[in-house]
């Protein structure tokens, strides 16, 4: 059977250009905005997650570190699996978009849940909550990130365009990180009479997570809808 129709269906929704044609700026920025959620997640995980569970919730630092260490190991297994699924997906939406759209809600809800564990959990309860939600959040992000990054090479075969897309993507990731490291400290973790060190306020972390969740959704949807032709 001629595989051409299958290839056509697989790539119909994924724009490709010749080696000389340039992408419009609307498409470039839409694609790059998809890295903004990764910046938020990375900064939150790298700078707040261990501190929150250890210093705020009281989880033993060794258990918290173990949970955070195990999660990327699980992710190392899921990344190539998701990449294979994405490569061989055949739908009217193309290969990448079904996974990107499907990841939006799980990723957002799981990210929120990490910083909003139920009250009254035992130490082991906190450990399992952290482990499960961190691993699940990373896995949900994988279902978005792997197709998203793969799509970058499919938007254009032009070397300069691909380089520009990668550069813009890095800029938006930095913006996401700065939004957390600067914006969150100013808005959610500022000092108060009850908490001179605002990062020790348990409610501030839940508020930060609740405010970040819509930004994650918006970033993913801009990248998905803005490049979907």
Supply the pLDDT for residue 83: 77
| Domain covering 23-227, topology | Growth Hormone; Chain: A; (1.20.1250)
Model confidence at 12: pLDDT above 50: no
- pLDDT per position as a tens digit, 202-217: 999 999 999 999 999 9
Supply the pLDDT for residue 74: 84
| Rounded-to-5 percentages of helix, strand, coil across the chain | 75, 0, 25
Task: Yes or no: say if 154 and 16 are a contact pair by the CB < 8 Å rule.
Answer: yes
What is the pLDDT averaged over residues 186-201? 92
Q: What angle do CA 139, 145, 149 make, to 5 degrees?
A: 150
- pLDDT per position as a tens digit, 104-146: 999 999 999 999 999 999 999 999 999 999 999 999 999 999 8
Supply the pLDDT for residue 20: 56
Residue scoring higher pLDDT (100 or 95): 100
Model confidence at 5: pLDDT above 50: no
Tokens representing 112 are 């929120």
- Number of other residues whose CB lies within 10 A of the CB of residue 21: 11
- pLDDT per position as a tens digit, 171-187: 999 999 999 999 999 99
Residue scoring higher pLDDT (76 or 36): 36
The residue extents of the domains of the chain are: 23-227
Q: Give the pLDDT band of residue 95 (cuts 50, 70, 90).
A: confident
- pLDDT per position as a tens digit, 142-163: 999 989 998 888 898 899 999 9
Supply the pLDDT for residue 42: 95
Task: Yes or no: say if 20 and 158 are a contact pair by the CB < 8 Å rule.
Answer: yes
Supply the pLDDT for residue 14: 52
Element (H, E) at 225: helix 202-227
- pLDDT per position as a tens digit, 14-69: 555 445 578 999 999 999 999 999 999 999 999 999 999 999 999 999 999 999 99
CA–CA distance, 82 with 91 (Å, rounded to integer)? 16
Task: Yes or no: say if 103 and 30 are a contact pair by the CB < 8 Å rule.
Answer: no
CA–CA distance, 207 with 44 (Å, rounded to integer)? 13
């Amino acid at each position: 059977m001629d595989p051409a129709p299958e290839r056509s269906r697989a790539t119909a929704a994924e724009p490709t250009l010749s080696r000389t044609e340039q992408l419009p700026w609307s498409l470039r920025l839409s694609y790059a905005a998809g890295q903004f959620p990764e910046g938020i997640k990375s900064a939150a995980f790298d700078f707040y997650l261990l501190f929150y569970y250890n210093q705020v919730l009281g989880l033993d630092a060794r258990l918290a570190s173990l949970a955070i260490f195990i999660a990327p190991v699980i992710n190392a297994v899921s990344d190539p699996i998701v990449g294979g699924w994405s490569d061989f997906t055949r739908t009217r939406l193309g290969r990448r978009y079904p996974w990107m759209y499907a990841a939006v809600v799980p990723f957002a809800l799981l990210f929120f849940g990490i910083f909003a564990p139920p009250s009254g959990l035992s130490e082991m309860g906190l450990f399992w909550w952290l482990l499960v939600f961190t691993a699940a959040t990373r896995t949900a992000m994988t279902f978005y990130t792997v197709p998203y990054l793969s799509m970058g090479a499919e938007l254009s075969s032009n070397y300069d365009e691909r380089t520009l897309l990668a550069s813009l993507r890095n800029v938006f990731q930095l913006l996401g990180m700065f939004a957390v490291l600067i914006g969150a400290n100013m808005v959610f973790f500022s000092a108060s009479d009850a908490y001179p060190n605002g990062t020790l306020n348990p409610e501030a972390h839940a508020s930060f997570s609740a405010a970040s969740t819509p930004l994650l959704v918006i970033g993913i949807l801009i990248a998905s809808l803005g490049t979907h032709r």
